[in-house]
């Protein structure tokens, strides 16, 4: 049995944890703590900063911890944070423990992504990335759906269920290490030889055959195009995941489950998109596809300005699910293809998407509270269009350089 039999289900459980708590904490902050939408946006931004802090500030510590231990540590920190959040009575206390909760995945995702891609060539990497994306996106689509259902039963019920989810993930890692030999094959973080060329990050993976490398292991310039696309789609994700549910309940008068259902449908199309990208290769190193995704993303945000009904939101969110899967696949594939330092590339990839969440949460929360959700849609469209312009400029200058 291969290690992915364990690692991909743990990716599902971790993202189920994250999306379940991030959805539920919106209503916990509003109903239990009494915080307004613009402040909730800042809470999610601070949480995203916690993740970036973990990726950047704690990277030296992570490089000294093997993936299994790092991932279990992340699960333990998450459980502790959840217990402290639901025990808190003030906004300041919730903010501190939500920051800690958001920091914990920094010990999880880069390690997991480096672990499952360990010793994989470009051909096998694309297939593995597709399966990984399907795994975590399945957790992403189930989290809001489950959260909406549980919140209507009890405000704290999602948090108790999530503790069980995290415990199951830790148990699964332990079982895999004991019973699956391939699970014990993971990156060992060793220092490069003194005076030698630093061509990969602290032994994160073994040196690849030269035929697999692009630009002597630096990778393709398309990684920048992909990362801009990920930043753009995560702006919309920050808005729709963290602010949009309040609009559905407080402005349209529907229950929390209605918002969860819309996000669930978007999650399904995202998972389907990941499945498709894993079966096709036409998008590999295809500049036109990457630009087209950005153009359609801008168009989708503009179309949202004319949507006033729940069925209309369903249609646009279905489209966005496909766009999200394509942008994410471009970012993760082109960031790691032909590169030696995949661990560092995965960390950069996570940083770009995190800054997208910060931008969407803060900007969307402020505009929703003081103007309308449609002002937030305009803001998102404008930022995505700026990203499109940046992508075009990068392609133009890279061609001139060549």
Digits of tens for pLDDT over the chain (402 positions)?
A: 688 888 899 999 999 999 999 989 988 998 888 888 778 888 888 888 888 888 777 777 777 888 889 999 999 999 999 999 999 989 999 999 999 999 999 899 888 887 887 766 656 776 787 788 888 878 887 888 898 889 889 989 999 999 999 999 999 999 989 988 878 777 665 333 333 322 223 233 444 444 455 555 555 778 888 889 889 989 998 888 888 888 888 888 887 788 888 888 888 888 888 888 877 878 777 888 889 999 999 999 999 888 888 888 899 999 988 898 898 888 887 776 655 566 667 777 878 888 898 888 888 888 988 888 889 999 999 999 999 999 999 888 877 655
**Domain spans, the chain:** 4-185+209-401
Q: Which two tokens stand for residue 142?
A: 């189930």
Name residues whose C-beta falls within 8 Å of residue 257's C-beta, 6 or more positions apart in sequence: 145, 148, 149, 151, 152
Report the distance separating Cα 20 and Cα 176, nearest Å: 25
Residue with tokens 């661990």: 343
Q: Considering only CA atoms, which of 201, 175, 239 is closest in space to residue 113?
A: 201
Q: What angle do CA 275, 113, 339 make, to 5 degrees?
A: 95
Topology of domain 4-185+209-401, per CATH?
Growth Hormone; Chain: A; (1.20.1250)
| pTM recorded for the entire structure | 0.72
Residue in 228, 213, 234, 233 with CA at minimum distance from that of residue 336: 213
| CA–CA distance, 241 with 278 (Å, rounded to integer) | 25
Which residues does residue 339 pair with via DSSP β-bridges, in sequence order? 218
């Amino acid at each position: 049995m291969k290690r992915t039999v364990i690692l991909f289900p743990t990716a599902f459980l971790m993202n189920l944890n994250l999306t379940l708590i991030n959805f539920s904490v919106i209503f916990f902050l509003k109903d239990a703590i009494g915080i307004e939408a613009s402040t909730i946006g800042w809470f999610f931004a601070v949480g995203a900063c916690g993740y970036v802090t973990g990726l950047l500030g704690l990277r030296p510590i992570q490089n000294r911890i093997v993936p299994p231990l790092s991932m279990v540590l992340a699960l333990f920190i998450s459980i502790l944070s959840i217990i402290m959040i639901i025990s808190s009575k003030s906004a300041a206390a919730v903010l501190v423990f939500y920051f800690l909760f958001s920091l914990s995945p920094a010990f999880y995702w880069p390690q997991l992504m480096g672990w499952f891609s360990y010793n994989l060539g470009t051909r096998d990497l694309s297939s593995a990335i597709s399966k990984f994306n399907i795994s975590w996106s399945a957790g992403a689509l189930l989290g809001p759906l489950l959260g909406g259902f549980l919140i209507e039963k009890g405000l704290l019920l999602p948090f108790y269920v999530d503790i069980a989810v995290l415990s199951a993930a830790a148990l699964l890692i332990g079982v895999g290490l004991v019973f699956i030999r391939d699970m014990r094959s993971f990156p060992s973080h060793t220092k490069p030889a003194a005076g030698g060329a630093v061509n990969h990050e602290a032994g994160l993976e073994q040196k690849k055959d030269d035929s697999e490398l692009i630009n002597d292991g630096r990778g393709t310039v398309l990684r920048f195009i992909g990362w801009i696309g990920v930043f753009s789609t995560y702006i919309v994700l920050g808005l729709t995941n963290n602010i949009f549910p309040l609009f559905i309940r407080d402005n349209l008068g529907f229950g929390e489950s209605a918002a969860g259902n819309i996000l669930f449908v978007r999650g399904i199309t995202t998972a389907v998109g990941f499945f498709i990208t894993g079966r096709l290769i036409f998008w590999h190193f295809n500049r036109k596809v990457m630009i087209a995704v950005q153009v359609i993303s801008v168009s989708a945000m503009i179309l949202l300005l004319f949507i006033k009904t729940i069925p209309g939101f369903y249609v646009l969110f279905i489209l966005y699910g496909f766009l999200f899967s394509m942008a994410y696949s471009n970012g993760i594939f082109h960031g790691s293809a032909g590169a030696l330092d995949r661990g560092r590339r995965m960390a950069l990839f996570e940083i770009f998407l995190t800054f997208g969440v910060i931008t969407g949460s803060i900007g969307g929360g402020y505009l929703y509270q003081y103007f309308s959700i449609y002002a937030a849609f305009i803001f998102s469209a404008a930022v995505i269009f700026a990203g499109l312009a940046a992508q075009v400029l990068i392609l133009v200058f890279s061609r001139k350089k060549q």
